A and B are shown apart, each in its own frame.
Chain A
Amino acid sequence: MRQIKIDPITRLEGHGKIDIFLNDDGEVANTYFQIPELRGFEQFCVGRPVEELPRITTRICGVCPEAHHMASAKACDAVFHVDPPPTAKKLRQLLYNVFFAGDHTLHFYALGGPDFIVGPTAPAAERNILGVVKKVGLEVGGKVIEMRKRTQEVLKTLGGKQTHQVTSLPGGVSKGITSEEAKHIEEHCLWFVEFGKFTLQAFNDIVLKNQQYVDLILSDAFSHKTYYMGLVDEQNRVNFYDGKVRVVDPDGKEFVKYSPSEYLENIAEEVEPWTYLKFPFLKKVGWKGLVDGKDSGVYRATPLSRLNASDGMPTPLAQAEYEKMYSTLGGKPVHATLATHWARVIELLSAAEMALDLVRDPEITGTNIRTIPTEIPTEGVGIVEAPRGTLTHHYTTDAKGMVTKVNLIVGTTNNYAPISMSINKAARGLIKKGQEVTEGTLNMIEMAFRAYDPCFGCATHALPGRRPFILRIRDKDGEILKEINRC
């Protein structure tokens, strides 16, 4: 038995680590994907006033604090049995869709993108955002920087801070926007829609027109037949902020559609002693280990999952792209993990269109932005779609609204089992008996998890997509046979 250690690949509120074991023939015997850190938010949020949680749980993730801010605010609304006024809801959704557009941009151009734009086996030193800029030119690189700049500016206007927003509180938001601010945001949103269209065109030109990439996307090494999860509106269209959680089976048939308050009937988490992260699964199907198929409770919650779990997009341009994706890839559901990149850019466009609709809504500049809670607080669940998956916040309080219990099922956590499986399958598919394990091969194994835009790439996700990477191949006595230093 030989052991290949990839440590660290990155971090999830810390770091991630992969061990690949090879048998004596040089074939993959097994892989383990470990999450080496735990910070304990669920425990130290106990004893805090519940209205502070939207300002504390943002620190779970500095890349997607907006997702925690919103899930938390919605959980607080539920705890206090209060419904925010329409303007407040629309302001939250406007913020949220602008965030989605910016966040997906970052992943496509800086994390997942370099693998396609620069090439999966290109020299590692070039497989980053600087390599992307070099390849596509400063003009396009500048556009990406401008997209981030504009989204961050809107987030600061709506959320108070561009990172770790502060404006949502039980019953609404702390500040509205003036008609001048709305006009300014509208200009940005128009730009976001254009940027979304541009990005889909880029995806088409760079990825879809390259048969090698299309073959890679559709290859068995990057495919798993699982359940898919996503939040949908009343017409079963994708919604990032609100609605019910819909799960479809590996054949694309609706398996369950549940309200946030019913999540415990549907989701449970398995503990393994070799990692700090738990493995969520569909309770009604059951935990069968790291396997796919209808009998396994493993589900995925990603941009592709959201599209698979929905009947369409809520906006016209994105709907056309949705139809194009499914007709190109042979109908629903799509099991190809790498198609998640495609779904992500469709969502980027949809988020931009949604934001534009919202900012043009006359109610957006309304001044009734808070419903002051009057009922005794009890318990509540808030669910949003984080860019990396369905995010659930569940709080219980005492009669004064002091937190007594917190349960969180975070975006990437949903995908812990499927990411582990994707790494395993890619490693088995790519590491062949008698062939040398090259850096390019390793990067392609990394592509298996990078498609999920995982939050152990929370920060990874922020710029070029490569991590420090030490790989040691050992014989069964632990002697190092080979060491690969990737840079």
Chain B
Amino acid sequence: MIKMKSHNFIEKTIASAASLVKESVFSEGTASKKGLMQGLDARFKVFSVLAFIICALFIKHTIVLLALYALCILLTLLSRVNLLFFLKRTLPFIPLFSVLIAIPAMFSFFTPGQAVWSMKAGGVSIAITRQGLHGAVLFIARVTASISFVILLSLTTHHFELLKCLRMFGVAQVFVMITGMCYRYIYLFAEIIENTFMAIKSRAGGVIRSSHGHKIVAWNMAMLWNRAYNLNEDVYNAMLSRGFSGEPVSIHRFRAKTADFLWIVFCCVVVVLFFALDAMLSGRCII
């Protein structure tokens, strides 16, 4: 039996990149489930997620942000999205977007205040301040809540519906159409990459030396480029054949239902309540 190199960088990169593209771009499995968020009009979902993100940006208390995050988790469960899967999709992004900013902000250099921990190194005093710590926690909580809502939106909405929502922001139809086609063919190319890798593996016997692997990757990139170029011409011909004259067209129409309007009312009430709670905790009252 051929022994596989478990740490083969090329193997991991090719296989993971292809599956990441397929899994992250297309959430067809979760978007097709019959859950709360899946049943809503995509435009209303985008609007509500934007409202929640704005809410997260302006809330000043971590406890309120945690309540907002709890709401996101509740919506995840009501949308029949596996919680573990959801957390796996969201948590890796949080350090990516927050740690580089949050860690320096804890120190007295950037956030002066009452020291909760300090040390001296080479005659320089380094301290983590209470205010800095609070700021960092608040920032991470904001990022967590915001990313979670965005991921929930992407998991519960078909990618083509999300693209159509771009029209709400005045993005040209031709751009939406071309982006949709790009998405469509990303999947095809991800499959080609996977199949090519399997073919290489079947011939190379499982072990690919690093130097040889680099050549294979470079060759595959060139081959994929060539295929994309040829496909581009064929797809254009297929469009011409069906009467395309340069004017973008689409049959997709959003249809708002009573439930969508109720959802928006619910979201507005929730956002107002969160702001009110935040204000109360700050010693002010807005209602």
Tell me, yes or no, whether A binds B: no
